[in-house]
C-alpha cells in the first residue's frame, strides 16, 4: 500500500500544527489530539483495505494484429465487493508500443462492472506478451492506495500489413520499369505450356500453326500456349547481421520479408508452389506448397522471423537447401552483398545452379544513391562522393565475379526490392527458363 495525496495533505497539516505549537504552547494539546485522531483514522482506513479486493479483470483483444496499425483493447472490471470501489487501472501492454487511453480511473458500484477501451499501435512483428493488468484501489476514506495485479496474461501475433504492402507493390510494378505503372497481363497465345487448339487468327505467328490438325480439319489451326505453371519458388533468406541495417521505412530485413510475401502472393496466383529457408541465426524451413494454403503457411511461418547478429554462411545454406529440394526450383537468394563475400556467394550460387535456377537479390543502402545525387560543394563532399563511387564500383565488381548472367541478379535499394523481384519473376515465367 502507498499513501494517497489526501493522507500526505493530512500529514502536512499536522506538521504545520506542530510548528505552530512550538511557538504557541497553548496549541500543544490540540496538536496531540489531532495527531492521535489522524493516526487512528489512518490505521483504521489501512485495516479496511488490507486484504485483496474482490475485483475481476477481463481483457478483450484480437489474437492477430497488423503492425503499425492502431488497434483497440477492451478491459472489463467486475466489482464483487459489497461496497463501491474507486479504481485506477493500467494495463501492462508490450514494451515500446504507442498507447492512448491509460491509466483509467472510475468508481465501480458493488455488483457492477466497468468496461473501457484504449488504443495500441504495435511497432514490430512477432509474438507480443500482455502481462496481467495492474489496479490501484482506494481505501474507503481515500487515505491509501492498494496495488494488486489481476487478470489474464495473453500473447498476440503481430503480422505485416499484407494487403497494404501488396497494394503498393502492384501499383508500383511495371514490366518496363520497376518504379512506375502496373503489371502487364499475360496475353493468351503466348507462353511455353500448351493450352488448347483453336482456329488460326490474323496476327498469329506461323510457328503456332499445328499442321497435323490443319490437315485433319482442312483449315488453319493454331496452338495456344499459356505461362508455365506448377513450378517451385523457394526463397533463401539471409537473417544475418547485415540485414539489421536500417533505411527509411524500416530495416533491410523488413523490406526483404515484405518482398518475400509479395512475390509469394504473385507466384501462388500463377499456380506455383512457394517455400522458404532462412539461415544465419534464424534457421527455418517451409517446404514449397501451392495455392492459398501455401501463402497462409508462408505468412504464419515468417511473421515472427527476425534478423540476428550472426554472420551468414552461404555455402552451408546452399548445401542444406540442396538436400531439401528434389524438384527443380526457382531459388531467390536475398541478402546484402559485400565485396568480400564474392567467393562464398559465388560458390553457393554455383552449387545451387547445378540443379536450379538462381536469382541473387542484394539490397544496397539508400544513402549511397542520395550522396551521388547531391551537388558537390566543397572538398569534404567531393571526397565523400569519390568514396561512394569507389564503394559502388567494388560492389559491382563483386557482383560481376559471381558469374551469374545479368538477368539472374539484382542490386537495388530496399524499397524497390519487391517490385524488382516481381518483374524478374514474371520475365522468367514468360521466357520458360524454368
Question: In this structure, are 155 and 281 located in the same domain?
Answer: no
Question: In this structure, are 42 and 83 located in the same domain?
Answer: no
CA distances from 87 to 5, 49, 58, 366 (A): 15, 13, 15, 51
Q: What is the pLDDT of residue 131?
A: 94
User: In whole angstroms, what is the distance from residue 159 CA to residue 261 CA?
Assistant: 11
Q: What is the pLDDT of residue 247?
A: 74
Q: What is the chain's mean pLDDT, rounded?
A: 84
Whole-structure pTM value = 0.71
Question: In this structure, are 221 and 250 located in the same domain?
Answer: no
Q: Assess contact for 59 and 152: CB atoms under 8 A.
A: yes
The three cell numbers of residue 373 are: 545525387
CATH number at residue 418: 3.40.50.410
CA distances from 80 to 117, 140, 425 (A): 21, 15, 62
Percent of the chain with pLDDT over 90: 32
Q: Is residue 149 part of a domain?
A: yes
Rg (Cα) of the chain, in Å, rounded?
34
Q: Assess contact for 418 and 425: CB atoms under 8 A.
A: no
Give per-residue pLDDT as tens, 25-57: 888 898 899 999 989 998 888 888 777 778 899
User: In whole angstroms, what is the distance from residue 108 CA to residue 342 CA?
Assistant: 68
Decide if pLDDT at 371 tops 80: no
Question: In this structure, are 256 and 328 located in the same domain?
Answer: yes
Decide if pLDDT at 218 tops 80: yes
Nearest residue to 335 via CA among 262, 242, 199:
242
Question: In this structure, are 275 and 420 located in the same domain?
Answer: yes
Q: What is the pLDDT of residue 164?
A: 63
The band of 169, judged by pLDDT with boundaries at 50, 70 and 90, is low
Question: In this structure, are 328 and 393 located in the same domain?
Answer: yes
Q: Is residue 184 part of a domain?
A: no
Q: Is residue 91 part of a domain?
A: yes
CA angle 386, 390, 393 (to 5 degrees): 140
Decide if pLDDT at 220 tops 60: yes
What domain range includes position 208? 193-226
Question: In this structure, are 248 and 218 located in the same domain?
Answer: no
User: In whole angstroms, what is the distance from residue 133 CA to residue 339 CA?
Assistant: 51
Question: In this structure, are 237 and 215 located in the same domain?
Answer: no
Domain total of the chain:
4
Q: Is residue 185 part of a domain?
A: no
The three cell numbers of residue 176 are: 518496363
Q: Assess contact for 55 and 77: CB atoms under 8 A.
A: yes
Q: Is residue 37 part of a domain?
A: yes
Question: In this structure, are 202 and 126 located in the same domain?
Answer: no
Q: Assess contact for 54 and 73: CB atoms under 8 A.
A: no
How far the first Cα of the chain sits from its last, in Å, is 70
For the ranges 86-95, 142-151, 390-399, the lowest mean pLDDT is seen at 390-399
The band of 289, judged by pLDDT with boundaries at 50, 70 and 90, is very high
User: In whole angstroms, what is the distance from residue 108 CA to residue 105 CA?
Assistant: 10
Question: In this structure, are 237 and 377 located in the same domain?
Answer: yes
Q: Is residue 187 part of a domain?
A: no
Q: Assess contact for 334 and 254: CB atoms under 8 A.
A: no
Question: In this structure, are 147 and 245 located in the same domain?
Answer: no
Give per-residue pLDDT as tens, 121-140: 998 888 999 999 999 999 88
Question: In this structure, are 342 and 212 located in the same domain?
Answer: no
Q: What is the pLDDT of residue 187?
A: 42
What average pLDDT does the segment 264-283 reach? Answer: 90
CATH number at residue 121: 2.60.40.10
Amino acid at each position: 500500500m502507498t499513501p494517497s495525496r489526501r493522507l500526505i495533505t493530512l500529514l502536512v497539516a499536522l506538521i504545520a500544527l506542530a510548528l505552530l505549537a512550538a511557538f504557541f504552547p497553548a496549541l500543544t494539546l490540540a496538536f496531540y489530539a489531532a495527531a492521535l485522531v489522524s493516526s487512528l483514522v489512518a490505521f483504521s482506513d489501512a485495516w479496511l483495505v488490507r486484504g485483496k479486493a474482490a475485483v475481476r479483470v477481463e481483457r478483450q483483444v484480437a489474437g492477430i494484429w497488423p503492425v503499425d496499425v492502431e488497434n483497440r483493447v477492451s478491459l472489463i472490471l467486475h466489482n464483487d465487493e459489497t461496497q463501491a470501489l474507486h479504481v485506477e487501472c493500467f494495463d501492462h501492454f508490450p514494451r515500446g508500443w504507442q498507447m492512448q487511453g491509460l491509466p483509467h480511473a472510475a468508481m465501480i458500484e458493488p455488483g457492477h462492472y466497468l468496461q473501457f477501451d484504449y488504443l495500441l499501435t504495435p511497432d514490430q512483428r512477432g509474438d507480443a506478451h500482455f502481462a496481467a493488468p495492474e489496479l490501484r484501489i482506494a481505501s474507503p476514506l481515500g487515505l491509501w492506495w492498494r496495488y494488486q495485479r489481476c487478470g489474464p496474461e495473453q500473447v498476440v501475433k503481430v503480422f505485416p500489413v499484407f494487403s497494404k504492402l501488396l497494394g503498393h507493390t502492384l501499383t508500383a510494378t511495371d514490366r518496363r520499369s520497376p518504379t512506375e505503372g502496373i503489371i502487364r497481363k499475360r496475353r493468351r497465345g503466348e507462353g511455353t505450356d500448351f493450352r488448347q487448339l483453336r482456329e488460326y487468327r490474323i496476327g498469329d505467328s506461323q510457328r503456332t500453326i499445328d499442321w497435323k490438325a490443319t490437315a485433319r480439319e482442312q483449315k488453319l489451326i493454331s496452338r495456344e500456349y499459356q505461362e508455365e505453371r506448377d513450378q517451385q519458388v523457394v526463397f533463401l533468406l539471409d537473417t544475418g547481421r547485415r540485414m539489421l541495417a536500417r533505411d527509411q521505412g524500416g530495416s533491410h530485413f523488413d523490406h526483404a520479408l515484405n518482398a518475400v510475401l509479395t512475390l509469394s502472393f504473385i507466384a501462388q496466383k500463377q499456380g506455383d508452389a512457394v517455400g522458404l529457408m532462412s539461415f544465419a541465426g534464424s534457421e527455418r524451413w517451409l517446404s514449397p506448397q501451392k495455392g492459398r494454403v501455401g501463402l497462409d503457411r508462408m505468412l504464419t511461418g515468417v511473421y515472427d522471423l527476425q534478423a540476428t547478429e550472426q554472420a551468414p554462411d552461404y555455402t552451408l545454406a546452399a548445401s542444406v537447401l540442396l538436400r531439401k529440394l528434389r524438384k527443380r526450383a526457382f531459388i531467390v537468394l536475398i541478402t546484402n552483398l559485400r565485396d568480400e563475400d564474392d567467393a562464398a556467394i559465388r560458390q553457393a550460387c554455383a552449387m545451387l545452379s547445378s540443379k536450379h535456377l538462381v536469382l541473387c537479390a542484394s539490397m544496397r543502402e539508400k544513402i549511397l544513391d542520395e550522396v551521388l545525387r547531391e551537388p558537390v560543394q566543397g572538398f569534404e563532399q567531393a571526397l565523400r562522393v569519390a568514396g561512394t563511387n569507389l564503394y559502388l564500383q567494388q560492389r559491382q565488381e563483386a557482383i560481376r565475379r559471381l558469374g551469374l548472367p545479368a538477368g539472374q541478379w539484382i542490386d537495388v535499394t530496399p524499397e524497390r526490392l519487391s517490385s524488382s523481384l516481381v518483374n524478374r519473376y514474371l520475365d522468367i515465367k514468360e521466357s520458360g527458363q524454368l
